[in-house]
Amino acid sequence: MKQFEDNTSVLRRILDNISNIESLLLTTTEESFLNNLKDYNAICLEFIQIGEKVNLLSDDFYNLHPSVPWHELYGLRNRIVHGYDKVNKSIIWATLQQDLPVIKSEIQDIINQ
């Protein structure tokens, strides 16, 4: 059963995880991410934590803010945790480059409303 927290607090903590990922990406290239277990593991841990925090939000909150891919973020967490050896690193890299900046912006917009 979900245990709900203050939504804004959860969102701020998700932004902290995104900030951690951004810091890691400052010194990580695509080649390093794909071939260096340390970089990959560090970033995947942040995604796992984001997924855990997303799960603290209510379904009503998800429905109020459908522009954020809540279920996909939790699904990514599940994929990393339960199918770690089957995760396509290139898809994770593309998510980092294409989706994460948009998700960050959308979460910041929600907080600022």
Band (pLDDT 50/70/90 cuts) for residue 3 is: low
Helix (H) or strand (E) holding 52: helix 37-54
Say if residue 3 is exposed, middle or buried (CB neighbours under 10 Å; 0-12, 13-18, 19+): exposed
What is the C-alpha to C-alpha distance for residues 103 and 109, in angstroms, rounded to an integer? Answer: 10
Instruction: Give residue-wise pLDDT tens across range 20-65.
Output: 999 999 999 999 999 989 999 999 999 999 999 999 998 899 999 9
Q: What percent of the chain has pLDDT over 90?
A: 82
The pTM assigned to this predicted structure is 0.91
* Cα 3 to Cα 34, 82, 97, distances in angstroms: 35, 22, 31
Q: Is the dihedral of CA 45, 47, 51, 54 positive or negative?
A: positive
Annotation marks residue 12 as catalytic: no
Of 13, 71, 77, 79, which one is the catalytic site residue?
77
Q: Tens of pLDDT along 77-95?
A: 999 999 867 889 999 999 9
Instruction: Show the CA angle centred on residue 87, arms to residues 90 and 58, nearest 5°.
Output: 105
* Residue-averaged pLDDT of the chain: 92
Question: Of residues 12, 71, 79, 82, which has the active-site annotation?
Answer: 82
Is 82 a residue of the active site? yes
